[in-house]
């Protein structure tokens, strides 16, 4: 098998395949990734295209005789092709020039050319009449029908294998994963590009050739895309929008939504730093949810409700972020605090440990929006993003890292994390940021200071969460 590359190593083999959506790269995967990078570097055409930015993946596998090796893959196309030697083939090859996909693509392109010519500036006059509107409408309808039929046909060609030898096409997998009629009406088909990411291609080849998956990892090579945060050589989880339904079927296991309770979260608890009849101020540890998630895991809200009766949170911290939260003990306090957050009169300051050296002080302003194919990841979008602003001030530089104070002036999801990591921000991810940087023991982001007007007395109250836990 040309795609099976022997891997000689004394590193102990893990007993189970890792979770492709939440993992630290195993040393065997790191060794395989190094070999893949070396191979690409020796191929000028591949190196030039990968330098522009490409996600690659490795799957460490065992043959039936116990021989260890790895498979390699790239997402989508590399240098315009999906059939490069050394890498596993696509699940379905839609790039054949005389195939149905390319033929229909050419029909759609021809319609686009006709529509463009019809709408080009023309000196209409008595001798030259504009084309009737119905002609353009008919062409647009024809293009729409061809596109929809082609997309459905394409997804039916992707017959995915699972570990049991069962097969389903992408449409069946999508509908099984999303049984809700409401979701099916809104999203009748998977996102474009489903099945062409690294993980499905690697597992498809392994199952087809009776190779036992050992460990998997995906890593970025080359420049970061303009809107996303990707760092050369860093490892990333599989995308959720396209890969989660597919890998759920292929691996025969379910994966909890990102941000589910961390292992041991039940043993964590918020520390109460202030309480009265209207509010509580607590310090949340990293790894504990602010409010209950889909799994019903323990959270700040559920724990405090057990202790104090029903409480409500007018704001939240990400599960991985530690620090101060104000909690309302009645509906009136909750409404008043909500109004303060909406009016941005609540003052919040965070401290973060950055994985590099940053100097001085200043601000970061970037338009942000969610990535619908990889939630909860956020991206920078100059056209559709919502404005976000963060002030920063360097507190200390130590051992190649920087402790900074961050003051958010807006409250976008992952604002601080993206403002630190993005090339147009501080270009230095927060230590432990597994989405925009590298995974570590914890995300080093701490809600340090909090100030608000007491909902009953109106008195200004300020709190500081010391000491900083990193």
Render pLDDT for 206-237 as a digit per residue (tens, 0 to 9).
999 999 999 999 999 999 888 889 999 999 99
In the predicted structure, residue 264 carries a pLDDT above the cut 50: no
pLDDT of res. 259: 39
- pLDDT higher than threshold 60 for residue 308: yes
Window from 74-78, 157-161, 236-240 with minimum mean pLDDT: 236-240
Q: Is 307 helix (H, G, I), strand (E, B) or coil?
A: helix
Banded model confidence at residue 374, pLDDT cuts 50, 70, 90: confident
Q: Per-residue confidence at 79, pLDDT binned at 50, 70, 90?
A: very high
Q: Give residue 130's pLDDT band: very low, low, confident or very high (50, 70, 90).
A: low
pLDDT, greater one: 233 or 267: 233
CB 431 within 8 A of CB 353: yes
Q: Give the pLDDT confidence score for residue 375 in this predicted structure.
A: 83
| pTM across the whole model | 0.82
Average pLDDT over residues 97-115: 88
| Residue 363 CB contacts under 8 Å (≥ 6 apart), including other chains | 389, 390, 391, 392
Which residues have CB under 8 Å from 181's CB, separation 6+? none
pLDDT classification of 3: cutoffs 50, 70, 90: very high
pLDDT at residue 248 tops 90: yes
Quickly state the pLDDT bin for 186 (edges 50, 70, 90): confident
Query: Per-residue confidence at 294, pLDDT binned at 50, 70, 90?
Result: low
The residue among 206 and 125 whose pLDDT is bigger is 206
* Catalytic annotation, residues: 318
pLDDT(125) > 60: no
pLDDT (tens digit per residue) in 20-45:
998 999 999 999 999 999 999 999 99
Q: Which of the four pLDDT bands, split at 50, 70 and 90, describes residue 132?
A: low
Percent residues over pLDDT 70 in the chain: 93
Average pLDDT score over residue span 257-279 = 72
Residue range 404-423, pLDDT digits in tens: 999 999 999 999 999 999 99
Average pLDDT (134-153) is 88
Higher pLDDT, 294 or 71: 71
Whether 122 has a pLDDT exceeding 90, the answer reads no
Q: Per-residue pLDDT for 460 more than 90?
A: yes
Average of per-residue pLDDT across 128-151: 80
Give the chain's mean pLDDT. Answer: 92
Supply the pLDDT for residue 126.
Answer: 55
pLDDT band at 373 (very low <50, low <70, confident <90, very high): confident
What is the CA 219 to chain-centroid distance, rounded? Answer: 13
Q: List, in sequence order, the alpha helices (H) in 26-178.
A: 27-41, 44-50, 100-119, 133-157, 170-177
Region 441-449: mean pLDDT is 97
Q: What pLDDT does 263 receive? A: 44
From 53, 57, 17, select the one nearest 36 (Cα to Cα): 57
Tally the residues of the chain.
470
pLDDT band at 465 (very low <50, low <70, confident <90, very high): very high
**What pLDDT is stored for residue 85 in this prediction?**
93
């Amino acid at each position: 098998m040309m795609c099976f590359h022997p891997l000689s190593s004394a590193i102990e083999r893990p007993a189970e395949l890792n979770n492709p959506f939440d993992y630290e790269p195993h040393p065997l995967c790191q060794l395989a990734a190094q070999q893949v990078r070396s191979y690409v570097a020796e191929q000028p055409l591949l190196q030039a295209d990968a330098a522009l930015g490409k996600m690659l993946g490795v799957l460490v596998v065992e043959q039936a005789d116990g021989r260890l090796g790895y498979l390699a893959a790239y997402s989508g196309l590399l240098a315009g092709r999906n059939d490069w030697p050394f890498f596993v083939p696509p699940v379905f090859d839609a790039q054949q020039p005389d195939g149905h996909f390319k033929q229909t693509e050419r029909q759609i392109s021809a319609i686009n050319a006709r529509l463009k010519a019809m709408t080009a500036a023309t000196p209409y006059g008595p001798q030259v009449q504009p084309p009737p509107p119905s002609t353009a409408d008919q062409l647009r309808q024809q293009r729409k029908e061809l596109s929809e039929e082609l997309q459905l046909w394409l997804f039916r060609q992707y017959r995915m294998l699972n570990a049991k030898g069962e097969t389903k096409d992408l449409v069946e997998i999508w509908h099984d994963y999303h049984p809700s009629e409401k979701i099916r009406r809104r999203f009748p088909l998977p996102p474009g590009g489903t099945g062409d990411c690294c993980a499905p291609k690697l597992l498809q080849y392994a199952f087809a050739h009776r190779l036992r998956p050992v460990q998997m990892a995906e890593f970025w090579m080359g420049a970061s895309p303009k809107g996303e945060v990707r760092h050369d050589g860093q490892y990333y989880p599989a995308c959720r929008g396209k890969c989660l339904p597919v890998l759920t079927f292929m691996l025969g296991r379910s994966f909890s939504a990102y941000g589910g309770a961390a292992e041991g979260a039940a043993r964590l608890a918020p520390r109460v730093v202030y309480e009265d009849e209207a509010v509580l101020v607590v310090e949340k540890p990293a790894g504990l949810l602010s409010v209950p998630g889909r799994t019903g895991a323990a959270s700040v809200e559920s724990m405090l409700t057990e202790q104090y009766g029903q409480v409500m949170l007018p704001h939240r911290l990400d599960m991985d972020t530690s620090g101060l939260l104000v909690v309302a003990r009645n509906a009136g306090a909750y409404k008043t605090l909500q109004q303060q957050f909406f009016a941005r009169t609540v003052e919040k300051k965070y401290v973060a440990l950055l994985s590099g050296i940053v100097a001085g002080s200043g601000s970061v302003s970037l338009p942000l929006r969610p990535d619908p194919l990889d939630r909860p990841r956020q991206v920078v979008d100059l056209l559709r993003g919502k404005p976000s602003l963060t002030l920063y001030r360097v507190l200390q530089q130590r051992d190649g890292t920087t402790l900074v104070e961050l003051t958010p002036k807006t409250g976008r999801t992952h604002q601080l994390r993206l403002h630190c990591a993005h090339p147009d921000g501080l270009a230095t991810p927060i230590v432990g940021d597994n989405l925009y940087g590298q995974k570590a023991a914890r995300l080093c982001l701490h809600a340090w200071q909090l100030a608000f007007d007491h909902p009953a007395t109106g008195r200004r109250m300020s709190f500081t969460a010391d000491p900083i836990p990193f």
